[in-house]
Amino acid sequence: MDELGGKVAVVSGAARGQGRAIALRLAAAGARVIGGDVLTEELAAVGEELGNDGIVGRLDVRDRASWVTFLEQGTDAFGRIDILVNNAGVLRRAGLDRETSQAFEDLWRVNCLGAFHGMQAVHSHLRRAGGGAIVNTLSTAALTAWSMHGAYVSSKFALRGLTKVAALELAADGIRVNAVLPGPIATPMVLRDDDPEARHRLGATPLGRIGEPEEVAEVVCFLVSDRASFVTGAELTVDGGMTSGTLLVAPPADANE
């Protein structure tokens, strides 16, 4: 399948997890990929996997100047940009009483300001290309809050709002802006070596398992493709049904009698 043939896609946080899966999926659909991350060693390995279909470069999404240099490298190599996937993100656990201003702000600078920088930095490129598509990675935490994650939840709620604003403002340039909202996905963000039970615990979704990064990448690939040509400002959950409601466990048969 070559549905993204001729397109150039930028993916932030491409060194591992969902970003790596998205970069490889878009390349498999025919796009040339510009992958950025702060984890340069892992990123280099993804660059090798992409081969001639991609280039990778250091990108710190918090820093506007880093975006400019990174995109220059990308356009020098491929000449244009059609797609942006704002995927980079960080997670932190801290109760309101223990959270510090510095840590709160640091997380926001990646999860919310980073995506703002990305959209602002690619806008002129997408306009020049005659239109394009942006996908922002939110979370089910942008729909329903989690305790002990005030910085993370508020950053994703905010990016949800920013996604809608961008969808409205960029529509006139033929740029679609959508959001993907993953539930629990098997990546280093949530599966750590010191927590071997996490995969099982996080698998308590209606579909009965944790999601895989490739399942998010598939939805992103749809949203940036022409198959989603009339979709903008939309939010697509990829969460195994987790935010659909409460899954009630049926009582034993004789309790109904």
| Binding positions for ligand NAD, rule: CB under 6 A | 12-13, 15-19, 37-39, 59-62, 87-91, 110, 137, 139, 182, 184-185, 187-190
In sign, the C-alpha dihedral spanning 7, 8, 10, 11 is positive
Adjacent-strand bridge partners of 12: 36
Q: Which is nearer to ligand NAD, 129 or 186 (CB)?
A: 186
Q: How far apart are CA 112 and CA 236, in angstroms?
A: 18
Q: How far apart are CA 74 and CA 55, in angstroms?
A: 7
In whole angstroms, the minimum distance from the beta carbon of 119 to ligand NAD comes to: 14
In whole angstroms, the minimum distance from the beta carbon of 193 to ligand NAD comes to: 13
152, 178, 182, 216: the active-site residue: 152
204-233 core/surface letters (b: 16 or more CB in 10 A; e: else): ebeeeebbebebbbebbbbbbbeebeeebe
In whole angstroms, the minimum distance from the beta carbon of 4 to ligand NAD comes to: 20
SS3 97: coil
Count CB neighbours of 161 within 10 A.
11
In whole angstroms, the minimum distance from the beta carbon of 94 to ligand NAD comes to: 16
Q: Which is nearer to ligand NAD, 93 or 128 (CB)?
A: 93
Cβ atoms of residues 5 and 32 within 8 Å: no
The DSSP letter of residue 251 is P
Q: How far apart are CA 221 and CA 78, in angstroms?
A: 20
Q: Which is nearer to ligand NAD, 13 or 132 (CB)?
A: 13
In whole angstroms, the minimum distance from the beta carbon of 153 to ligand NAD comes to: 11
Q: Which is nearer to ligand NAD, 132 or 213 (CB)?
A: 213
Residue 120 annotated among the catalytic residues of the structure: no
The DSSP letter of residue 38 is S
Residue 77 one-letter amino acid: A
Q: How far apart are CA 164 and CA 176, in angstroms?
A: 10
Q: Which is nearer to ligand NAD, 59 or 135 (CB)?
A: 59
Active site residues: 152
